[in-house]
Chains A and B, each alone.
Chain A
Amino acid sequence: MVLWTCWATTVICALSASIGVTNTLAESVPGDRVTGTGRSLTVVPLPERARTLANLVPQQGWPNPVNDQEHRLFTLIDVLEYRPRTGGSGSNSDYRWDLEGWYGGDYNRLWFKSEGQQDTAFKADYDVDFQLLYGRFLWKHYDLQVGGRMETQSFRGGNVTRGLGVIGLQGIVPYNYEFESSLFIDQSGAISARLSYTKDFLLTQRLILQGRFQTNMAIQRVEEFTTGSGLNNLEFGARLRYEIHRKFAPYIGLSFERSFGETATLVRRQGGDPSQIRFVVGVRMWY
């Protein structure tokens, strides 16, 4: 009985109007409502027109019955990680990020993306890029994106920056891979491309292994951006995260990266290591 009482008080159940449990309840909570019963009130009969005449057309100025045009802001920080030094030649402790997001509705969105890396197999020193794109939801699974990209990287001790035009296609391909592809044309006409896939494997409902694949390609050689012609690099990553909250998940992982051909030569010339296996620790979050 004591337990029962506790429940009743803590759980604030009285408001539930536990219909039919007791009659006595009615007397015990007096007065906090208006009731129609027991009042002497002349009820005006419904005017005849009110019974039959309907407002046939919703009127100007009435609100939308549903809020299906809301715009939202989404930011996903998919990679935000620390990469400790692994020994060997030229790899230092450093940081890396990869984030993206959008503002907009169901079909039209303004996308933003940014990647930053340092001392990877592809970029010997730091490289930061930022993209701003308009995206349109098409073909049931994809966003077609058009916009611009700004890239800055260090080259021979100085900074170099270039602007690029972007056409992107992003979405979910069969077998549930998140797919992102971009074609870039820089200010001098050099064409390059980037392709990435990620996929989540649920070990448990909260312990999730993310597989990640990324590659860069280019047609022209652009020395100051350590880009050779042809296949630039390949990267495979595996990141094991724990979703403490859906929106916040720390992770650990491994990243295998390698650059090829001219690109590898350029990276080496810059003092970098074109073939790396790195341990990473970071956090994935979105809001």
Chain B
Amino acid sequence: MQPPKKVQDKTNSISRRVLMKRAGALGLLAGLQPLFASCANHPLPPAARPSPDISTLSGELIELVISEGSFALDRKNGVAVSINGTIPGPLIRLKEGQDVILNVTNHLKEVSSIHWHGILLPSHMDGVPGVSFNGIEPGTTFTYRFPIKQSGTYWYHSHSGGQELQGMYGAMILDPIEPEPFRYDRDHIVMLSEWSDESAEVMLDNLKKFSGYYNFQKRDAQEFRSDAARWGFWPALKNYMMWDEMRMDPTDFADVTGSTFTFLMNGLPPAGNWTGLFRPGERVRLRFINAAAMTFYDVRIPGLTLRVVQADGQNIQPVAVEEFRLGPAETYDIIVQPTEDRAYTIFAETMDRSGYARGTLATQPGMEGQVPERRARPLRTMEDMGMMGHSNGHNDHTVMRSGTNHHDTMHGQGMQHGQEGADRDRSPILGAMPVKHGPDHHGTGNQTVAEYAQNRMHEPGRGFEQSSRRVLVYTDLKSLVPYQDQRAPEREIELHLTGHMQRYMWSFDGKKYSDAPEPIRVRDGERLRLTFVNDTMMEHPLHLHGMWMYLENGSGAYLPRKHTVVVKPAERLSVVISADAPGSWAFHCHLLLHMEAGMFRVVQVLI
């Protein structure tokens, strides 16, 4: 073992050396595993916490150092930007009610920043260069200080250029003052992300010049043959021609795919098999965080029921599912109870099915479970384009039908409850019936509009059509306790999610940020409804800094609150906010390249 070295002493040179050193350490440990495997099975203390780990920081003063170094993974050599020399960065574990000071030193040659995702704090501590501060200049240290006013699972990441995609992210756990409303014996973080040897700048450049650059799952002659065999030649041709006529690609599920990404779980590629230990019968809490810049993950653990207890760090009424979709920046805490003495695979398939991240829950290190087959790449439908009444192609029929079923159920419930009088459990879902698009088609920077947009929170999303599994949907999310502010919104702002796939332009209301730098102004204390209408054919995870978005998903007084809300194609979805945080806040799509392309706004809460 090499003598200890302090990373921060070696300006700008983290890295490969330190990384290699760590790799060596783990390698050595791997060899020693049988010796200490029994240690891992020690009886756990009554208050379960994640096992202490090399990179857990806590207390009232925390030092973080940003540096870069070359980094190779899966034979992909690139430049990594890391926090304290690791990817992911250290776990920051704090206690609700404490104050914290975080000294962040930038050893890069460019401006950097850290944004504390989902944390309520003064706006100048939010870490967004150009909105909350000037950024952290090279060679300087910025001191963040704020009180911890909440609890749950969160994360932090760079808000400067493509640094997040290069590895600059880490988990943040805020332990509650009150005991957790659920029991568990063990606690693991499962942080999903991705790695590529291409920088975000290169990716954006490639996509601006050829938007299908990373898609190697387009419809080709072979697929046409099999579709023609299944649907008949003419219907298949008609379907293909229809998409061509609209100048759209129905296979567009991820702008950047497994053709360049290696998908990571806690920093490990699938072959690295991150392993979380358990003893049969234990309740294991898994804190899923999607720290990926561009990837939606569909997560399941074959053989286990996933009991979702928190969404975006907030307690919800527990809901049991078999699979859930995790948008970039979202978090879900789930509890599983594996009873058998065997390995369970945590399988996180990307939404476009071009790859997966994978890890294992095991009773001993080194065990591996069966890795499921990837499912077929899904297809967009006319529903995703907001075209009602069209029913072209065969997929659409199934989708339409399942959509209708859901609606019946929903309305049925609504009526029953309505008859019982005022019910705090249910409330109308805005946009439950399709709403026709207005005459404004958002200019030339917006390719299409959803002719009819409607709420799709009860749908699991595209790609689950053939699945019989119970998949988490947004209408499942009900806050455990009603939040204090139950006022009806005083004002509503409708915001359209717009873009142009072929040009790779992304915007709100057809205007990218630099063409619409005027902030969205909100009065302090105002209760405001934001209605999002997705005119694009992609899912967008929208993130509001500094304040919660209460998802109007029909849960009455129990609306769940989120920091990141995924809006599906052609969806109309509403959230309410209680503007209780004066200052300027970023609001943007959390797909990194969409944000960089201009899908970004400033929300200003005026005193």
Given A10, A14, A37, A56, which contacts B604 in the complex, CB threshold below 8 Å? A56
Contact A172 B216 (CB under 8 A): no
Contact A16 B602 (CB under 8 A): no
The residues of A that contact B277 with a CB separation of less than 8 Å are 20-21
Given contacts A43-B99, A52-B582, contact A15 B22 (CB under 8 A): yes
A176 to B240, CA, bound (A): 11
Given contacts A39-B59, A204-B220, contact A140 B86 (CB under 8 A): no
The residues of B that contact A39 with a CB separation of less than 8 Å are 59, 61
Residues 15-70 (chain A) with a chain B CB within 8 angstroms:
15-26, 28-39, 41, 43, 45-46, 50-59, 61-70
Of chain A, the residue at the smallest CB distance from B190 is A19
Contact B61 A68 (CB under 8 A): no
The residues of A that contact B583 with a CB separation of less than 8 Å are 54-56
Stretch at the interface among A1-9, A124-132, A153-161: A1-9
The residues of B that contact A189 with a CB separation of less than 8 Å are none
Of chain A, the residue at the smallest CB distance from B273 is A7
A138 to B217, CA, bound (A): 30
What per-residue 1/0 map shows which CB atoms of A185-224 lie under 8 Å from chain B?
0000000000000000111111000000000000000000
Residues 80-94 (chain B) with a chain A CB within 8 angstroms:
82, 84-88, 90-91
For residue B97, CB closer than 8 A to chain A, the reply is no
Contact A204 B222 (CB under 8 A): yes
Contact B124 A54 (CB under 8 A): yes
B133 to nearest A CB, angstroms? 8
The residues of A that contact B131 with a CB separation of less than 8 Å are 58, 62, 65
Given A7, A65, A172, A286, which contacts B600 in the complex, CB threshold below 8 Å? A65
- Interface size on B, as a range, is 35 or more
Contact B600 A28 (CB under 8 A): no
Of chain A, the residue at the smallest CB distance from B597 is A68
A61 to B137, CA, bound (A): 13
Contact B216 A51 (CB under 8 A): no
Contact A55 B584 (CB under 8 A): yes
Contact A26 B268 (CB under 8 A): no
Given A20, A56, A203, which contacts B50 in the complex, CB threshold below 8 Å? A20
Contact A15 B52 (CB under 8 A): no
Contact A57 B584 (CB under 8 A): yes
Stretch at the interface among B32-40, B307-315, B431-439, B549-557: B32-40
A22 to B36, CA, bound (A): 9
Contact A65 B55 (CB under 8 A): no
A266 to B198, CA, bound (A): 53
Residues 549-607 (chain B) with a chain A CB within 8 angstroms:
581-584, 586, 588, 595-598, 600, 602, 604-607
For residue A141, CB closer than 8 A to chain B, the reply is yes
For residue A244, CB closer than 8 A to chain B, the reply is no
A198 to nearest B CB, angstroms? 14
Contact B52 A23 (CB under 8 A): yes
The residues of A that contact B268 with a CB separation of less than 8 Å are 11, 13, 16, 18
The residues of A that contact B245 with a CB separation of less than 8 Å are 174-175
Of chain B, the residue at the smallest CB distance from A17 is B55
Given B19, B57, B266, B584, which contacts A58 in the complex, CB threshold below 8 Å? B584
Contact A137 B8 (CB under 8 A): no
Contact A9 B221 (CB under 8 A): no
Contact A35 B23 (CB under 8 A): no
A38 to B60, CA, bound (A): 10
Given contacts A8-B23, A54-B124, A55-B583, contact A15 B132 (CB under 8 A): no
Contact B23 A11 (CB under 8 A): yes
Number of A-B residue pairs, CB cutoff 8 Å, is 332
A55 to B607, CA, bound (A): 11
A229 to B147, CA, bound (A): 80
Stretch at the interface among B329-337, B389-397, B442-450: B442-450
Contact B209 A176 (CB under 8 A): no
B541 to nearest A CB, angstroms? 16
Given A58, A70, A106, A176, which contacts B503 in the complex, CB threshold below 8 Å? A106
Contact A175 B58 (CB under 8 A): no
Number of interface residues of A (CB under 8 A): 81
Contact A16 B596 (CB under 8 A): no
Contact B134 A62 (CB under 8 A): yes
Given B26, B57, B147, B219, which contacts A36 in the complex, CB threshold below 8 Å? B57
The residues of B that contact A61 with a CB separation of less than 8 Å are 134
B270 to nearest A CB, angstroms? 10
Given contacts A31-B5, A53-B122, A202-B219, contact A58 B602 (CB under 8 A): yes
The residues of B that contact A107 with a CB separation of less than 8 Å are 444-445
Contact B220 A69 (CB under 8 A): no
Contact B111 A66 (CB under 8 A): no
For residue B62, CB closer than 8 A to chain A, the reply is yes
Given contacts A20-B276, A25-B54, A205-B220, contact A14 B135 (CB under 8 A): no
Given A11, A43, A54, A174, which contacts B122 in the complex, CB threshold below 8 Å? A54
For residue B513, CB closer than 8 A to chain A, the reply is yes
Given contacts A19-B50, A67-B161, contact A33 B213 (CB under 8 A): no
Contact B444 A138 (CB under 8 A): yes
A225 to B191, CA, bound (A): 66
B534 to nearest A CB, angstroms? 18
Contact A32 B6 (CB under 8 A): yes
B169 to nearest A CB, angstroms? 12
Q: Of A17, A26, A70, which is in contact with the most chain B CB atoms at under 10 Å from its CB?
A: A17
Given B57, B91, B247, B602, which contacts A174 in the complex, CB threshold below 8 Å? B247
The residues of B that contact A68 with a CB separation of less than 8 Å are 512-514, 596-598, 600
What per-residue 1/0 map shows which CB atoms of B120-164 lie under 8 Å from chain A?
001110001111111100000000011100000000000101000
The residues of B that contact A32 with a CB separation of less than 8 Å are 4-7, 18, 21, 84-85
Of chain A, the residue at the smallest CB distance from B446 is A140
Contact B101 A16 (CB under 8 A): no
Contact A23 B134 (CB under 8 A): no
A11 to B355, CA, bound (A): 18
For residue A246, CB closer than 8 A to chain B, the reply is yes
Contact B88 A21 (CB under 8 A): no
The residues of B that contact A64 with a CB separation of less than 8 Å are 130, 513-514
The residues of A that contact B376 with a CB separation of less than 8 Å are none
A114 to B269, CA, bound (A): 46
B149 to nearest A CB, angstroms? 10
For residue B275, CB closer than 8 A to chain A, the reply is yes
Given A16, A35, A50, A140, which contacts B57 in the complex, CB threshold below 8 Å? A35
For residue B71, CB closer than 8 A to chain A, the reply is yes
A179 to nearest B CB, angstroms? 11
Of chain B, the residue at the smallest CB distance from A26 is B54
The residues of B that contact A29 with a CB separation of less than 8 Å are 21-22, 25, 54
Q: Of A13, A30, A63, which is in contact with the most chain B CB atoms at under 10 Å from its CB?
A: A13
Given contacts A17-B53, A39-B59, A56-B584, contact A34 B189 (CB under 8 A): no
The residues of A that contact B82 with a CB separation of less than 8 Å are 15
For residue B246, CB closer than 8 A to chain A, the reply is yes
B563 to nearest A CB, angstroms? 18
A9 to B503, CA, bound (A): 42
For residue B72, CB closer than 8 A to chain A, the reply is yes
Contact A7 B65 (CB under 8 A): no
A210 to B136, CA, bound (A): 49
Beyond the given A11-B269, A28-B54, A66-B513, could you list 8 further A-B residue pairs with CB under 8 A, ordered by the A residue number?
Answer: A14-B23, A29-B22, A55-B583, A57-B604, A74-B209, A106-B512, A202-B221, A204-B222
Can you pick out 29 interface pairs between chain A and chain B where the beta carbons lie within 8 Å of each other? Answer: A1-B31, A7-B271, A8-B29, A10-B23, A11-B23, A12-B72, A14-B23, A15-B23, A15-B86, A17-B90, A19-B55, A21-B365, A22-B40, A23-B51, A25-B54, A35-B57, A38-B59, A43-B61, A52-B582, A54-B581, A55-B583, A62-B130, A67-B596, A68-B597, A68-B600, A140-B500, A141-B502, A172-B502, A206-B216
Residues of chain A whose beta carbon lies under 8 Å from any beta carbon of chain B: 1, 4-26, 28-39, 41, 43, 45-46, 50-59, 61-70, 72, 74, 106-107, 137-141, 172, 174-176, 201-206, 246, 286
Closest 4 CB pairs of A and B: A16-B267, A54-B583, A31-B4, A14-B22
